[in-house]
Structure 1
Amino acid sequence: MLIIIGSKNPAKINAVKNSFADQEAEFVSIDIPSGVNAQPFSDEETIQGAINRAVGALKQGNGDIAIGLEGGVHETSHGLLLCNWGALATRNMEPIIAGGARILLPEQVAERLKAGDELGPVMDEYSKMENVRKHEGAIGIFTNEMINRMDMFTHVTKLLVGQYCYRQNQLWR
């Protein structure tokens, strides 16, 4: 099975590989644009980014399955939440979607995002580290590394793969 990953981000690549660990699979990662704002600002936009990455990866990579993962933020009455979504695309069904962990961002970070900044660079500055988005992510910083970005996206990818397997089994009943 050829699985195309719609990103070159190591956290996303490893999340997908972790989710297919018990399968014989070959993985190819391709840098697929999300087709949404650099900083998605709603569940809808973040979902669309994940779908765009999955569908684009499937087309460009010509695999059996393609996975798109997208991080974003979502405004609520409680404040700005970190959100993350994934999509799984195949040639014979509509994309499957799944969402994952959510945490409230500190007001200091939220204000920067509302002013138009992107979370990745804000987190680098906030944490005084480099490439936070490729490693622990904001989720890792704000959970004291209890959950990192790869863990967060592994959870989402497992939700996608589980739904895919369920649907495949349903087709044969």
Structure 2
Amino acid sequence: MPETRTIAVGSQNPVKANAIRSAFEQMFPSWQLEVETVAAPSGVADQPMSDEETLTGSRNRLAATRSAKPNANYWAGIEGGIEDGPDGMNAFAWIVVESRQVTGQARTATFPLPEGVADLVRSGVELGHANDQIFGRHDSKHHEGAIGILTHNVIDRKMLYEHAAILALVAVKNEELYLPANLKEG
């Protein structure tokens, strides 16, 4: 029986944990996986308002998760964010995955938010709550999310995160190519 590998995810949101699990299953189909969730603080605003703040939140969640679960084999942090620009407000997320040797990160696809949602977010409402208000949903951030609502579930939140998680795992899958110079055999 294959060795079980433990992945610690810096969120107790089942959508995020399931996206990470699915990405690992696709990249490492022979592995037995155990996924543990951690209530990891992002250290940024509840609604990150820039690319940089969102990436920082994801990295902070990963660091907190690694501290909470030091015996895991892999750690992951996910943070959703928005950016407001001249063409409107866009949503996305950053995913950071780490092994004991390398770190990989990737940003999800970016998608535009409707002006009604954007106006609520600009007024200080977190995106998930704004979606619930505008679309008459309850707790959509733990289900299909804005992307699922807007695409009528052609793409749901898990799928959006899953693709970026797979891309973040490129460094883990090809660890020998991504090792820091001081760890490469010379």
Corresponding pairs, count: 172
| Identity level (%) | 33
| Residue aligning to 2:114 | 106
- Residue 135 of structure 2 aligns to which amino acid in structure 1? S
- Give TM-score scaled by structure 1 length: 0.93
Residue 15 of structure 2 is aligned to residue 14 of structure 1: no
Provide the C-alpha distance between the structure 1 equivalents of 2:81 and 2:124, rounded to a whole number of angstroms: 13
Larger Rg: 2
| Residue aligning to 1:146 | 154
| Residue aligning to 1:120 | 128
Partner of 2:109, secondary structure, is: coil
Structure 1: runs of 5+ lacking an equivalent: none
- Residue 98 of structure 2 aligns to which amino acid in structure 1? A
Residue 64 of structure 2 is aligned to residue 56 of structure 1: yes
Provide the C-alpha distance between the structure 2 equivalents of 1:129 and 1:34, rounded to a whole number of angstroms: 25
| Residue aligning to 2:88 | 79
Structure 1 residues 118 and 170: alpha-carbon distance in aligned structure 2, compared to 1, 3 A threshold:
closer
Does the aligned pair in 2 maintain the 1:38–1:118 contact within 8 Å? yes
The counterpart of 1:166, out of the listed 167, 174, 178, is: 174
| Residue aligning to 1:30 | 38
Shift of 1:82: 0.6
- Residue 126 of structure 1 aligns to which amino acid in structure 2? I
Does the aligned pair in 1 maintain the 2:101–2:175 contact within 8 Å? no
- Give TM-score scaled by structure 2 length: 0.87
Runs of 4+ in structure 1 deviating by more than 3 angstroms, as ranges, are: 90-93, 168-173
- Residue 76 of structure 1 aligns to which amino acid in structure 2? G
Provide the C-alpha distance between the structure 1 equivalents of 2:175 and 2:34, rounded to a whole number of angstroms: 22
Residue 143 of structure 2 is aligned to residue 131 of structure 1: no
Provide the C-alpha distance between the structure 1 equivalents of 2:121 and 2:65, rounded to a whole number of angstroms: 28
Shift of 1:169: 4.9
Does the aligned pair in 1 maintain the 2:171–2:178 contact within 8 Å? no
Provide the C-alpha distance between the structure 1 equivalents of 2:69 and 2:131, rounded to a whole number of angstroms: 31
Does the aligned pair in 1 maintain the 2:97–2:104 contact within 8 Å? yes
Structure 1 residues 41 and 170: alpha-carbon distance in aligned structure 2, compared to 1, 3 A threshold:
closer
